[in-house]
Structure 1
Amino acid sequence: MTLRVALLGCGNRGADVYGLHLRSLGVEIAALVEPRPARLQEVARRFGLSAEACFLHWDAFFALGRVADAVVIATPDDQHVEPCLAALALGYHVLLEKPVCLQESDIARLLEAEAGSAGRVTVCHVLRATPFFQEVTRVLDAGSLGQLVGIQWAENVAWWHYAHSYVRGNWRQSPPAAPFVLAKSGHDLDLLRWFAGSPPVWVSSEGALHHFRPENAPPGASDRCVTCPVVDCPSDARRIYPSRPLDVWPNTVLTAGGVSLDEALERGPYGECVYLGRNDVVDHQAVTVAFGNGVTAQLTVSAFTHNNTRTFKLLGSRGELRGHMEWGELELHDFASGTSSHWVVDTAGNHGGGDFGISRAWVAALAGEAEWPSPLSVSLDSHRMAFAAERSRVSQTVEVL
C-alpha cells in the first residue's frame, strides 16, 4: 500500500527537500499547507495536486480528520508546536523539523501529547542519519579511543551562509526564530549528546552579535547591494548569489514562487545590506557542556569562517579522532601503537546525505519495517542544552540541568 503524507510548510525544507525525497521513495504527497498562495500553487503543480488538496492554514487541513498516514511539519520555527499537537490529536505520525519548540515549557506538552497518541514524532536531527557520523559512532563503539574524555567541536557557519540565513533570512531575529545556538547548532548538540552517551548536567556559554551591526557599515554603504558603491564587502549579495547555480540552495530560496534572482535582489530581503540592524541573533558563540559520565564538550559556532562545515576532535584515553565533515575525512591516532589511519566517508547530498537518510528511515518506520529514527524523547536533550546555553549567555551564569 502506498504511504500518503501531507506537507505542512512548503518552503525549502518542506517541499524542496523532504517532499522530493519522500516522492523518490514511493510516497504519495497527498496534501499541502502553505500560507503563500504563489508558492502553494508552484508546489502543487510540482506534485500534481488539485486545489482541493491545498490549504493556506493547517486548521483547514486538520478539519478533514485523518486523511493521510503522516505529516511533515516544516513550518517556521515558531509554528512547530501547535500543528504537531493537532497532528498527534488525530493520530498522525509526524516528521518534525527542528527546532522542536522555542519555549522549554513546550517540551513537556509535546511529550505528553505523543504519549496519548497513536502517532509518533520523528525529529529532523538528520546528521544522525549520515554515513559520516555513523562512522564516528562505529569508531567509538569499537573502543578505539578507550575512555572518551572530551570533545572539541566547531560549527563553521561560513560568512556567506550566516549573512543569508541569520542576517537576511528567516532566522535573523529571535523571537520569532529560535536562538542562534538552537537554530544552527541543534544538530551539533544532538551529536554531542549521542557521542557522550550520557545526559548533560551543566552548561555555560558566551556569545554576542559582534559585527553585523549598523555602526560597522562601510562608509557610503547603501541599504541594498544592487545600489551600493562599496566594492569589497564580503556580504555583497551581488557576489554571493549569482556565483552559485540557480537550481540549488540558497538560490532556490530567493526564486521560490517564480521570482527571478534579479527581482529578489532588487526587492527582497536577500538583497538588503547586512548592516541595517534588522537582525539580533549572535554571530559567534562558545558553549561548554558537562555530561553525567564526566565527558566535557566545547562547541564553537561562528559566522566568521571560510568553510561551511563541521570540524571536531574526539579525545580519548587511547586515541584521538579528528573529523572534517565537508571533506568526509576522518583521522584516527592510536596512542599505544603510535600509528595513524586516515579514511574518507561519502558526504554527498544535503547535510551529508542526512536529509535523504532520515527520510528513508522514516518511511521504513511508517511501513513497520524499522524502529522510529530520532524519536522525540531522545532528541530533546539537545533542546534542553540549547535553552540552558542561551540562559547562560544572557545572564552569564552556569546552568545546571
Structure 2
Amino acid sequence: HVLRYTHFFNALKDIIDSGEIGQAMNIQHIEAVGNVHHSHSFTRGNWRNSVESTPMILQKTCHDMDIMAWLVGKKCKRVQSFGKLSHFTSDSAPADAPEYCIDGCPHAEECPYNAVKIYYDDKENDWFRTTCTKMANPTDEDVERAIRTTDYGKCVYKCPNNVVDHQVVNIEFEDDIYASFTMSSFNKGGREIRIMGTKGELRGSMDSPIITVYDFLTKTTREIDLDASALGNSIQSGHGGGDYGIMVALLDVIEGRENRSACDIGESCDNHLISFAAEESRLTGKVIDMEEYSARFN
C-alpha cells in the first residue's frame, strides 16, 4: 500500500498519533480520479470491465481504504456504498459520433475525450502512448494505428465498459470513528482529506505541500510545509512519492536497515476486503458487517 510511504500521509499519521487533534472521530476523503485518467484506464483501458479485471473501487481505491484504516489505527466494522456508471455510456454519445474519434468526429474540437488529442497530439504523455500501443517507444505511426484499430481510439461513449464512474463509501471503524469516502471521475484529479478530532482538525491535498492543523482551544491554524519533491512528474512523484518510498523501504529491509515494512500481509488483506465489501454493498444495497464478510474467506 504505497500511500503509507508518502511524506503527506506520514505527516498526517504523526499528527494524529501525537494527540494534537485529540481522538480522530471523522474522516472525509476524496479520490478524484480525473476525467481523462478515467477515460484512459476505466473506459477504454485495462480496467474498464469488472468481470475481466476488478471493480473500480478495488483497482483505484484499495490504497485509500488502507490509508484511512492506518491513519486511525482501527479495524473496519461496517461498510455501505452507492455508485453507478452514469455518464460514460452509449446514452451520452452524440447521435452523429463515429465509432472511432479519428474518423472525422464532428465534435472533436469540443470533446475532452478526443482520442486523437489525447494519444496522438500529446507527444509528451509517454504513459498514454505506450499503453495504447503496448510498445516502449512508439512512433506516431504506431499511435495512429492503435487509435484506428483498438478501443483506445473509440468514442469514449461507445466502449465495452461497465465499471462505475462515481461511487461513495461510508465506513464505520472501531471506537465510533466514521469515514465518508468519495471516488469520482468528474474532476481534474488528486486526493484530498479532512480529519476531524476532539481537539482540532487536519486538512490537506496531495496536490499541495501544505497541511493545515486547526486548534479548537486557541482557534489558530498551523501550516506544515512538506517536501515538494512528491509533486510533479519526477521519479519521486508516483502516488505522491509512495512508489519511490516503497522501493526505498524494500531496499532497507533487504539490506538490514529495517526489520519490517510499513504494512504486513494481514493488514493488506483486511483492508483490501473493505473494497470488496464496498462493491458488494453497492450491488446488493446492504450494509456489510465486516466480521461476517471476512469469515466467508477464512
Kept in 1: contact 2:151–2:159 (CA 8 A): no
Instruction: Indicate which of 215, 230, 236 corresponds to 2:91.
Output: 215
* Greater mean alpha carbon deviation, residues 267-276 or residues 181-190: 267-276
For the pair 1:324 / 2:205, whether they are aligned, the reply is yes
- Give the aligned length: 276
Q: Secondary structure at the match of 1:174?
A: coil
2:93 aligned with 1:201: no
Aligned residue number for residue 238 of structure 2: 350
Q: CA deviation at 1:269?
A: 2.3
Partner of 1:282: 164
Q: Which residue of 1 aligns with 2:295?
A: none
Q: Is the 8 Å Cα contact of residues 195 and 201 (structure 2) preserved in structure 1?
A: yes
The reply to whether residue 226 of structure 1 matches residue 102 of structure 2 is: yes
1:246 and 1:252 in contact (8 A); partners too: no
Look up the match of 1:367: 255
Paired residues for 1:327-338 under 5 Å = 327-338=208-219
TM-score, length-scaled by structure 2? 0.88
* Structure possessing the higher relative contact order (Cα contacts under 8 Å, 6 or more residues apart): 2
TM superposition score normalised by structure 1 = 0.66
* Aligned structure 1 segments of 4 or more residues deviating by more than 3 angstroms: 241-248
CA distance in 1, matches of 2:123, 2:240: 19
2:47 maps to 1:171: yes
One-letter identity of the residue aligned with 1:177 = S
1:242 is displaced (CA, Å) by 4.6
Deviations 1:250-274 (A, max 9, x none): 3332344244332322223221111
Q: Which amino acid aligns with 1:368?
A: G
Identity of aligned residues (%): 36
Structure 1 range deviating more: 315-324 or 328-337: 328-337
Larger mean CA deviation between 389-398 and 251-260 belongs to 251-260
Matched residues in 1 for 2:129 and 2:204: separation? Answer: 29
1:49-198 map, 5 Å: 125-198=1-74
Between the aligned partners of 2:262 and 2:71, the Cα distance in structure 1 is 16
Return the alpha-carbon distance in structure 2 between the equivalents of residues 277 and 268 of structure 1.
10
Which letter maps to 2:202?
Answer: L
Q: How much does 1:289 deviate? A: 0.5
CA contact (8 A) 1:193 1:381 kept: no
Letter in 1 for 2:9: F
Letter in 1 for 2:15: V
**Greater mean deviation of Cα atoms: 135-144 or 247-256:** 247-256
Taking only aligned residues, the RMSD between alpha carbons, in angstroms, comes to: 1.6
Counterpart of 1:251 (choices 94, 116, 129) is: 129
| Structure 2 Cα separation of the partners of residues 141 and 279 of structure 1 | 42
Q: CA deviation at 1:139?
A: 1.1
CA contact (8 A) 2:41 2:48 kept: yes
Q: Distance in 2 between matches of 1:170 and 1:190?
A: 23
Where does structure 2 lack aligned partners over 5 or more consecutive residues? Answer: 232-236, 291-298
